[in-house]
Amino acid sequence: QGSPETLLITGGAGFIGSNFIHYILKKYPNYKVINLDSLTYAGNIENLKEVEANNYQFIKGDICDSNLIENVFSSFEPTYVINFAAESHVDRSIKDPQIFLKTNISGTQILLDACKRHWGSGSHEKKFLQVSTDEVYGSLGATGYFTEETPLAPNSPYSASKASADLYVRAYHETFGLNVNITRCSNNYGPYQFPEKLIPLMISNALEDKDLPIYGDGMNIRDWLYVEDHCSAIDLVLHQGTSGEIYNVGGYNEKANIEIVKIILKEMGKPTSLIKFVKDRLGHDKRYAIDASKIKDELGWEPTIMFEEGIRKTIGWYLQNQKWLDRVKSGEYAEYYHNMYIEK
């Protein structure tokens, strides 16, 4: 029998997953953590190089490989499964949606099936937690917030795949009585984020005095949350969330993209002349904003790191980890960057 503290974390070599593993091992040093990650372009075990705990184990593998998943469940009998594994970048989903269906939808269903086989129904000591996104709700106008009751209206192939996965999670709860939660968080930023995403891309380009590409007029709005605050929300939902419930997670920190870029340039002492407005993203969602009152009222969660502090910490981390940045920017990513911003 697995101990009650065995966590199977999928996608733990990516941005949020690796931050979560650091967070969870520090907070619960007695937990056993299995990190299953296929190491796509976005996965990097270097993110976890300081983790030496003998209660941590990395397995290179794909969540779509049902035989492997069965073996992992039989060997470790996890109590909690937290699914971070995903194709996560909207622009890539516009160029090539297929892999998003495979990993984000099929992969999630394969994990759910393993939970169902091993846990049976009504087992409330075991839980599957799906790390989802506010993008499943679509786009907001100038006012209003996404609540857990907002209808799903995903606009990109990425968000369509995440919304589909959420519906499978719901279905396994309703049909098979699986103990599940879904968290839907806004945009994260912080250490270890791959430099294809807005904030690390802008820091990375500013460091090299390269153009900072802003889509459209730069007035699209996102709600930014420091990654550690997302980790604490997942921790709370995992341990205290009501079975079958969805919890929105957000920073109450809405900013237009142009504002974000100007803050980064100011903080780094670089000129605004580096800003370059480029062709807009297809189907570019105008505004995301989260109403996080449910998780606050039910579980007492609130963001703790204000944007001014978080962005300073983040820039500081990238400045101190330029070798990490250089390494992840080589190879496949160099080709992606060229196709996305140079040849376009």
Shortest spacing between CB 152 and ligand DAU, in angstroms: 14
Supply the minimum distance, in Å, between the C-beta of residue 53 and ligand DAU. 28
Q: How many C-alpha atoms does 116 have within 13 Å on its Cβ side?
A: 15
Q: Give SS3 for 77.
A: coil
Question: If contact means CB under 5 to 8 A according to the sort of partner, which of ligand NAD, ligand DAU, none does residue 201 touch?
Answer: ligand DAU
Q: Put residue 287 in one of left, alpha, beta given phi > 0 → left and psi -120 to 50 → alpha.
A: beta
Question: Does the annotation count 31 as an active-site position?
Answer: no
How far apart CA 306 and CA 48 sit, in angstroms, is 25
Please give the C-alpha separations between residue 208 and each of 126, 167, 197, 260, in angstroms, as whole numbers. Answer: 47, 43, 17, 18
- Tell me, yes or no, if 56 is annotated catalytic: no
- Taking CB within 5 to 8 Å according to partner kind, which of ligand NAD, ligand DAU, none is near residue 257? ligand DAU
Q: Is 222 in the site for ligand DAU (CB under 6 A)?
A: yes
Our finding on whether 134 is near ligand DAU (CB under 6 A) is: yes
Determine, following the binding rule CB under 6 A, whether residue 213 of this chain makes contact with ligand DAU. Answer: yes
Residue among 6, 35, 79, 88 that touches ligand NAD (CB under 6 A): 88
Does residue number 301 form part of the binding site for ligand NAD (CB under 6 A)? no
Question: Is residue 220 near ligand NAD by the rule CB under 6 A?
Answer: no
Selected from 39, 153, 278, 299, the binder of ligand NAD by CB under 6 A is 39
Residue 220 binds which entry of ligand DAU, ligand NAD, none, with Cβ cut-offs from 5 to 8 Å by kind? ligand DAU
Task: Pick what 214 binds: ligand DAU, ligand NAD, none; C-beta below 5 to 8 Å, kind-dependent.
Answer: ligand DAU
Residues 158, 168, 192, 318: which is the catalytic one? 158
Taking CA atoms, 217 is separated from 90, 258, 275, 277, 294, in Å, by 18, 8, 11, 7, 33
Binding residues for ligand DAU, how many (CB under 6 A)?
Answer: 19
H-helix or E-strand containing 34?
strand 32-37
Compute CA distances 27 → 15, 23, 112, 220, 310, whole Å. 19, 6, 27, 36, 20
* Whether residue 158 lies in the annotated active site: yes
Closest distance to ligand NAD from the beta carbon of 218 (Å): 19
**Cβ 120 to ligand NAD, closest distance in Å?**
25
Radius of gyration, CA atoms only, the chain:
19
Angle (deg, nearest 10), helices 198-207 and 307-320: 50
Closest C-alpha among 16, 27, 135, 34 to residue 85: 16
Among the listed ranges 21-29, 127-135, 263-271, 299-307, the one in contact with ligand DAU (CB under 6 A) is: 127-135
Binding mask 263-302 for ligand DAU (x = CB under 6 A): ------------------x------x--------------
- Distances in Å between the Cα of 270 and the Cα atoms of 26, 109, 205, 253 are 36, 46, 11, 24
Sheet holding 254-256, edge to edge: 187-189, 221-226, 254-256
Which span sits near ligand NAD by CB under 6 A: 58-66, 70-78, 264-272, 293-301? 58-66
Neighbours of 46 (CB within 10 A): 15
Alpha carbons 162 and 87: distance in angstroms, whole number: 9
Which residue among 31, 43, 155, 226 contacts ligand NAD (CB under 6 A)?
43
Query: Which member of 85, 180, 214, 289 binds ligand NAD (CB under 6 A)?
Result: 85
| Residues identified as active-site | 134-135, 158
The residues that touch ligand DAU, with contacts defined as CB under 6 A, are 88-90, 133-135, 186-187, 197-198, 201, 213-215, 220, 222, 257, 281, 288
